[in-house]
Amino acid sequence: MKKVYELTDLDCANCAAKMERAVSEIEGVESVSISFMTQKMTIMTDEAGHKDIMKKVVKVCKKIEPDCVINL
């Protein structure tokens, strides 16, 4: 399932790159792309586990860039 989320307060390009790398390593995430310029995250996941996966995604991102909010 492909979903696009808006990100608020994503202030640093390097953090975006780090988040992208960390999210891509989460189990169940098929592909992810975080665009610093458009402040958007495009993520492909298993249909079934999507909710749980997104919880993990939020946790991972919080760790890297605590100010950035994923608008679920």
Partner 1 sequence: MSRKQKKSLIRIIIAAVLFAAGYIVPFADFPAWAKLCFFAAVYLVIGYDVLWKAVRGLFSGQLLDENFLMAIASVGAFCLGDYPEAVMVVLLYQIGELFQSCAVSKSRKSISALMDIRPDSANLERDGAIAQVSPEEVKIGDIIVIRPGEKIPLDCTVEEGSSSVDTSSVTGESVPRDVSIGSALISGCVNISGLLRCRVTAGFGESTVSKILALVENAGEHKARAENFITRFAHVYTPAVVAAAVILAVVPSMFDGNWSEWIHRALTFLVISCPCALVISVPMSFFGGIGGASRCGILIKGAEYLEQLANVKTMVFDKTGTLTEGSFRVTQVNAAGCTKEELVEAAAYAEAYSHHPIAQSLRAAYGSEPDSSRLSDVSEIPGQGISAQLDNEPILVGNALLMENSGVEFTVCDAVGTIVYVARGGKFLGSVIISDTVKHDSAEAIKKLRERGVERTIMLTGDSESAGQTVTKRLGIDEAHCGLLPGDKAERVEKLLSEKKGVLAFVGDGVNDAPVLTRADIGIAMGGIGSDAAIEAADIVIMDDKPSKIPLAVGIARKTLRIVKENIVFALGVKALFLLLGALGFANMWAAVFADVGVSIIAILNATRALRTKNL
CB of 39 to partner 1, least distance (A): 8
CB of 29 to partner 1, least distance (A): 14
Q: Rounded to an integer, what distance in angstroms lies between the CA atom of residue 4 and that of residue 68?
A: 16
β-bridge pairing 29-35 and 2-8: unpaired
Q: Rounded to an integer, what distance in angstroms lies between the CA atom of residue 50 and that of residue 66?
A: 22
Of residues 26 and 36, the one with the C-beta less far from partner 1: 36
Binding site for partner 1 (CB under 8 A): 4, 9, 11-18, 20-21, 33, 35-38, 40, 42, 63-64, 66
Of residues 17 and 48, the one with the C-beta less far from partner 1: 17
CB of 27 to partner 1, least distance (A): 19
∠ at Cα 16 (14, 53), nearest 5°?
Answer: 145
